[in-house]
Structure formats: C-alpha cells, structure tokens
Amino acid sequence: MRCGVDIGGTNTIIGIVDDKGKIIDSDCLKTGKYESAADLTVTIAYSILRMAKVNQASIESIGVGCPNINPGNGRIEKAANLNFKEAVSLRDEFLKYFPDTPLFFENDARAATIGESVYGSAKGLKNFILVTLGTGLGCGIMHEGQLLEGELGMAGEVGHAIIHPGGRRCGCGRQGCLEQYVAANGILATYRETCLRNGEQARAEDYHALAELARQGDSTALQAYREAGTTLGIALANMACFSSPSHIFLFGGVAQAGEPLMAPAREAFEKNLLFCYQGRIRLEFSGLMHSARNAGILGAAALYRR
C-alpha cells in the first residue's frame, strides 16, 4: 500500500491506496489547528499508523503534497497559507516516525498535477497545466510529459504573479498577487468591496458563506464571482503564452463554484488568447474534481512514481 498526505491551507487529508489506485481508508485534519509543523506531523503520523493497523496494511511509501515545499530536501521556507511560517524540514519531522519508509515531498499543486496525469483527465497528455483554486492558487505545468520544477524546485508559483502592482496585500508579504483576486479570500475581498461600494451590508463572513450566497442567486455574490472569473480567464490566457499547453484543468474548492466562476473565465480566456492558440486549448475541470479529497491523496500517493 502507498500512503498519500495532502496538506492544504484548510484541510490536511491522509489516505492509504492500493496498487490499483483504490483508496482503502482516509482521514481529514483541520490544518489551521496546528501551530507548528511538529504538531501537525505527529497527528498525521498517528493517523497513518492507525489506518495501517486497522487495515492490516504495510506502507511501502509516503508521499506528501504541501504548499511551498522544496521537493529536493523536503523543506518549507515560508508558506503563505500555513500557520507555521518558520523554515522547517518536513522530511526531518516525518523521519522521526517513519525512519525506514521511502518519503516523497512535492508542492501540493504539482502533486495534484501528477495525480491528474496518472488517474485523471490528463492521462496520455504531454503538455497541460493544472490550476488548483482553493485557499490559494497553485499550479503544475507538464511539458513533454515532464513536470516543471526549475532550478529551485519552485516552478508554477503563478498564484504569486503580480497582476495589480500596489494592490491587495498577500500572505507572501507583497501586494497584488493573482491569488488575492481569484482564490477564496480574493473573491471574498471583492464581494466585501462591492458591498461597501453599493452601501450594502456584507452577508458572508467567510468564503464558505459566500459560495452559499452565490448558490442562492445573490446578485452581489454573483458579481464577485464574475469579476474573479474574468481575471482568472485573462491569467489563464497569459499562462498559455508561457508553455503552450493543449489543456488547462481547473481543480479545487473554489473551482467547484462552477458556472458563476467558469462562464466568465471561459469567455475571458477565449477572448484574450493569442490568435495562434485560439480554439486550440481546452479549458476543463479536473477529472478528479468529483472528489477533491481523493485527488489530493492520489496525487501524493503517486509521487513515488516520479
């Protein structure tokens, strides 16, 4: 059995997977509850050991997807969306509990990209981009079947491309990053700004409540999604200029908002694509979208295959 751990800004999902890619057991922790990497890891380790025991499974490898991690050494320097901002080696933390198990670490979005390639809609595709929209915006770029890592193992950090110099403050310490306009907190900020402009009382405390308002047809909430979708569509058209993919897949909690976000995103994407790409790049939802929980586990569990 393989183990996959997906550490996200909101949830940490842990699962064990058989040789056919079937998830045998899984568990979920609230990432925000843990103040340090050590606290989080001990709880993850307990969960893995418990699942292994209950299912009488021997764990052949553990793959961990995590924001801002260096895949080479398993170090997190400063994760914008995690509580623990200090530089820390997640590999060292895991080694305390699993000294003899092969360990693999990867940026969460890049792990999801491998998951899409192995289990999802990108099977057999050589050039595609996966964009994860959740607490932040993550991205994995597959080029000729090879996942872009780059010199520092940090390729695909396009959530932190600056689209509005001097704009909204980001957890990374800078201003105007893409994710501050199209990921969960960004859409919430747009909603609040719109309410303020309209002299309305904001009716959503957090992103979850905003998504619910949009589902109920609240016009201000829908307007916030429309603005985010348009910005996202232009950003995706710009990404296409960089690596010339055949497909772009969207994934994650925010992508699950569906058409209120996707209709303007698709429109802005096609309108803003450079002529040589027009009609030639498919913008789709991830094939693992029906179960974000499973996708995170599968991507992380598949890391041993790299």
Judged by beta carbon, residue 54 or residue 241, the one nearer a second copy is: 241
Choice from 126, 215, 290, 305 touching a second copy (CB under 8 A): 126
Q: Could you say which residues in the range 28-57 bind a second copy, by CB under 8 A?
A: none
Choice from 40, 141, 255, 297 touching a second copy (CB under 8 A): 141
Q: Does 127 bind a second copy (CB under 8 A)?
A: yes
Other C-beta atoms lying within 10 Å of the C-beta of residue 91: 18
Q: How far is the CB of 60 from a second copy (least distance, A)?
A: 28
Judged by beta carbon, residue 99 or residue 276, the one nearer a second copy is: 276
In the sheet that 282-285 helps form, which strands lie side by side, from edge to edge?
146-147, 137-143, 128-133, 247-251, 282-285
Q: Could you say which residues in the range 142-171 bind a second copy, by CB under 8 A?
A: 143-144, 146, 148-158, 160-162, 165
Residue 83 three-state SS: coil
DSSP 8-state code for residue 291: G
Q: How far is the CB of 133 from a second copy (least distance, A)?
A: 16
Q: Does 277 bind a second copy (CB under 8 A)?
A: yes
**How far is residue 233's CA from residue 214's CA, in Å, rounded to a whole number?**
19
Sorted by sequence, the CB contacts under 8 Å of residue 53 that are 6+ apart come out as: none
Q: Could you say which residues in the range 69-88 bind a second copy, by CB under 8 A?
A: 77-78
Helices (H) and strands (E) in the chain, counts: 9, 13
**Closest CA relative to residue 243, chosen from 159, 127, 87:** 127
Structure tokens at 91: 């590999």
Q: How far is the CB of 150 from a second copy (least distance, A)?
A: 2
Judged by beta carbon, residue 40 or residue 69, the one nearer a second copy is: 69
Q: Could you say which residues in the range 178-217 bind a second copy, by CB under 8 A?
A: none
Judged by beta carbon, residue 99 or residue 166, the one nearer a second copy is: 166
Please provide the distance, in angstroms rounded to a whole number, between the alpha carbons at the two ends of the chain: 17
Which H or E run contains 142?
Answer: strand 137-143
Structure tokens at 168: 């909204």
Which H or E run contains 241?
Answer: helix 219-243
Q: How far is the CB of 243 from a second copy (least distance, A)?
A: 5
Q: Does 238 bind a second copy (CB under 8 A)?
A: yes
Beta bridge partners of 139: 131
Q: How many residues bind a second copy (CB under 8 A)?
A: 44
**How far is residue 243's CA from residue 127's CA, in Å, rounded to a whole number?**
8
Choice from 123, 169, 208, 280 touching a second copy (CB under 8 A): 280
Q: Does 239 bind a second copy (CB under 8 A)?
A: yes
Residues that bind a second copy (CB under 8 A): 68, 77-78, 126-127, 141, 143-144, 146, 148-158, 160-162, 165, 172-174, 234, 237-239, 241-246, 272, 274-277, 280-281
